[in-house]
Amino acid sequence: MKAFMAVLLLSSFAIAQSVDDLVEVLDGSSWESDYQRDESGQQQSPKNNKPLELKGKRSYQNLNCNNPDDQTSIPYKFLLGLLANKSLDIRHKEHEGILEIDGGVMIGNCQDMLEPFVSKPESSSPFYTFQMSVRKPSSCNGDKCSYDVKTVENGRNKTITKNFAPNFYGFVECLKETGVMSGKNIDKSKVTPVQLFHREVDVTETSELVYANRGFKGTQYSGKFSENKLPEFQGCYYFEDIQSGGFKTYSVDDIENFDMENLYQKVCNSGNYKLINSHIADFEDNDAFQTSLREIRNELILKEVKALHDIVNDSESLEEVDVPKFKEVTSDFLEYVINPIKMDLTQMQRLYANPGHSQKEDILKSIFGPKKAQALLGKDTRELKSILKDEMDELASKLVSYARKPYLTKDDFKKMTDSDAGAPLDDKTWTGAVLDLYEAQLTAFNYGRYSKDFFDSHYKGNPEYKNAKQYAKAADLDKKIKAKLDTTREKINRVYHVASNPDVDYSRKYEKTKNIIVSEIDEKIANLKENMKEAQWKVQTMCAVEKRQKYWINQQSCVEEARMKLMACSRQIQALLRERSGIVEKYDDMIADWDEAHGKVDRKRKSSRKSDRSFSFTPTTPTTPPHQRNVDNHFSMQLEMMRRQMQGQQFQVPMANAHFNMQIPRFSWGWGSQFGGSYNYGRQPSYHSQPFFDYSQYGAQYGNPALRHFEQPHTMPGGRFSFNPVNSGGGQMYIGGTPGFYDAPMGGGASGGFSFGM
């Protein structure tokens, strides 16, 4: 009878006190204040710390939701009330397949009655479920079972064995009998704390993790964080979110994809193209994400380029512009927007020119991707070329559009190189940005020919490009771009040096260097001229003086040696003049280039260039040549005696490029294009018998010296050299190239900036 009354009282107690009432008792006390984690998140060490780490599996069953015996799990709200922190810390280690549920400190007086476990997803319940069940010992066959419970007596823990019903209300009764739950309060002096920690292995599927309340359903229970997630489940279960917003587990594959998706969304939402670009390589295995990120990056770069155009266009002065920003954007614009388009056009042109290319499949894949490439492989040659032509037209048109408003334009380039506009030309970073922009403009202009509209409007019918081919080899276009870019880079670098070194006059430095080199050459020419005078005198006097001083010498050999010396000196002078002309041209070009650079920095500066292409050289010679001084009968008589001694002799002397025939008393000869004339020996008085050697305009000339001495007196052996071009041997000779042709640097100075051809 007493046992029956106890069961009746227990049933009445269970019905009278709902789960919410019991939770209110737990939440209404302050017992947990001694056991909550500190601010650093570490757990305090409670007395009698014994981890509760139980594992198990249990299948779902059809239940009678009104039967307390079927309510064999701790309702989630009540479980949280038993925890000092009122929450579960859940971690899923995807790569290890481990699920960890950490509840921290909980009321552990009746822990022997509890068993946590996780169930895998099934067809009827498609998620992982966590339960804190009330276990029924295998040896228990009655309505109540024996459990080891903990009590606190005189401040010390004590373990005793008591019998309770193996369900939720049996657990509540245990809390009451151990003194923890007293009426509507929790006596914290009776609490025996333990750690709630559960580790589940083999959690490898992508799913939700929910808490399963067994035996609670319908109006008798409501969830902590959600309503019943599976009300149609055939069984008395209430599935609720284990955390606010729920908790998901992931397979290794899905977590990697999920991480990629999260990363993708994060970088996309950042609006920072630098951040996006730094993560593109992370999506190597996801073509869709990678392609999308490239497109988003490029759109953001183009947005920045538009902003730069507005700055250049709207600013009265560029002195205060953000130079590093300009360089960063123009460099990225060239690298990530312009060059990839150029590369695709290059590949298309290769295939357009040779549809049967051995790398056809690879080329198509690199341009269009595997799917479209496969479709194009089945096209015949004519159809493939037509498709490529259309693709090139569209892509080239896009490329051209990036060199026009609202992006940075050619006019922007001119302003960016204009010192009057405040361009910071003394900043290497700025000139780097200028060159980036110029390369982008060059690329758009040259590869823009693959667009029919652009070719027709800029190349077709233009005399400057009369031989231009619309589908020219990309390699040839790259050579054109490189040549003009190199020339412009030199110009820009000169401007940079002038702007950053305002006290240095580079033009005058090169002018000084040129003058030093030219003076050295002039000195060599003057020395050779002196040697020629000496040799000329010997030829004119037929080595008479030498014969008088050294009777044993052969006058014929002496004359021949002097003549050869004259010819050798003439050749050396010609070589030096060619060298001189080249030096003058080279340094005049350099001076002109530096004058242009100085002019870009200082508009008021005048050119320092003094052209020295027309070279006049007057050697230092006496007014009266040596052979015109002291000409008297005594000297003439010596010559006449020499003539008579040689009379009757005949000889031949081989000449360079000609021949020398000499007869006494009369001889004549020819000296090719350099020297030519005749000598009539004995027809004039002896004191007039000296040959005449004139270097005025037409090379070496021999003639009647008497008439030249007395009828046309003038300076004999010195004279004037005039080279513009070099005159020699009665004809005109151009040193080092075609007459009148000068290969000037590309473009030229234009007001407001550089004028460089495209």
pLDDT band at 373 (very low <50, low <70, confident <90, very high): confident
Cα torsion 404, 407, 408, 412: sign: positive
Cis peptide preceding 625, ω within 30 of 0: no
Q: Which helix (H) or strand (E) holds 162?
A: strand 156-164
pLDDT band at 379 (very low <50, low <70, confident <90, very high): confident
In a domain, residue 592? The reply is: yes
Q: 491 to each of 437, 595, 757, how far by Cα in Å?
A: 15, 11, 13
In a domain, residue 156? The reply is: yes
Claim to verify: residue 360 and residue 460 sit in the same structural domain: yes
Q: 187 to each of 10, 75, 87, 441, how far by Cα in Å?
A: 21, 21, 21, 83
Sheet holding 700-702, edge to edge: 650-655, 658-663, 667-671, 675-679, 700-702
Q: What is the mean pLDDT of residues 75-96?
A: 92
Contact 600, 507 (CB under 8 A): no
pLDDT band at 167 (very low <50, low <70, confident <90, very high): very high
Claim to verify: residue 191 and residue 289 sit in the same structural domain: no
Closest CA to 718 of 623, 629, 580: 623
Domain of residue 621 covers 508-724
Claim to verify: residue 49 and residue 89 sit in the same structural domain: yes
Claim to verify: residue 224 and residue 282 sit in the same structural domain: no
Closest CA to 361 of 380, 374, 346: 374
In a domain, residue 103? The reply is: yes
**How many other CB atoms are found less than 10 A from the CB of residue 497?**
16
In a domain, residue 258? The reply is: no
In a domain, residue 744? The reply is: no
Name which of 88-102, 411-425, 474-488, 729-743 the model is least confident about. Answer: 729-743
Instruction: Fill in the amino acid letter for 629.
Output: R
pLDDT band at 135 (very low <50, low <70, confident <90, very high): very high
Q: What is the mean pLDDT of residues 304-330?
A: 95
In angstroms, the CA 421 to CA 313 distance is: 11
Claim to verify: residue 526 and residue 637 sit in the same structural domain: yes
Contact 127, 210 (CB under 8 A): yes
Res 241 pLDDT > 90: yes
Cis peptide preceding 406, ω within 30 of 0: yes
Write the secondary structure of 205-247 as one string of H (helix), E (strand) and C (coil).
Answer: CCEEEEEEEECCCHHHCCCCCCCCCCCCCCCCEEEEECCCCCE
Which of 231-235, 432-436, 490-494, 500-504 shows the highest mean pLDDT? Answer: 432-436
Claim to verify: residue 528 and residue 574 sit in the same structural domain: yes
In a domain, residue 731? The reply is: no
Claim to verify: residue 601 and residue 539 sit in the same structural domain: yes
Write the secondary structure of 387-439 as one string of H (helix), E (strand) and C (coil).
Answer: HHHHHHHHHHHHHHHCCCCCCCCHHHHHHHCCHHHCCCCCCHHHHHHHHHHHH
Claim to verify: residue 225 and residue 299 sit in the same structural domain: no
pLDDT band at 218 (very low <50, low <70, confident <90, very high): low
In the chain, the number of structural domains is 3
Output the CA angle 212-217-218, nearest 5 degrees. 140
Claim to verify: residue 210 and residue 152 sit in the same structural domain: yes
pLDDT value for 103 = 93
Name which of 106-120, 192-206, 427-441, 597-611 the model is least confident about. Answer: 597-611
What is the helix, strand, coil percentage profile of the chain, to 5? 50, 15, 35
Higher pLDDT, 666 or 190: 190
pLDDT value for 577 = 94
Claim to verify: residue 102 and residue 219 sit in the same structural domain: yes
In a domain, residue 658? The reply is: yes
Claim to verify: residue 604 and residue 649 sit in the same structural domain: yes
In angstroms, the CA 274 to CA 280 distance is: 10
Claim to verify: residue 244 and residue 277 sit in the same structural domain: no
Res 699 pLDDT > 60: no
Q: 213 to each of 18, 65, 229, 230, how far by Cα in Å?
A: 14, 11, 12, 12
In a domain, residue 736? The reply is: no
Average pLDDT over all residues of the chain: 76
Which of 226-230, 250-254, 406-410, 712-716 shows the highest mean pLDDT? Answer: 406-410
Res 266 pLDDT > 50: yes
pLDDT value for 162 = 95
Which parts of 541-656 fold into alpha helices (H)? 544-549, 555-601, 633-646
The secondary structure of residue 83, as a DSSP letter, is B
Contact 276, 303 (CB under 8 A): no
In angstroms, the CA 365 to CA 375 distance is: 11
Q: What is the pLDDT of residues 569-591, one digit of tens each?
A: 999 999 999 999 999 999 998 88
Contact 307, 408 (CB under 8 A): no
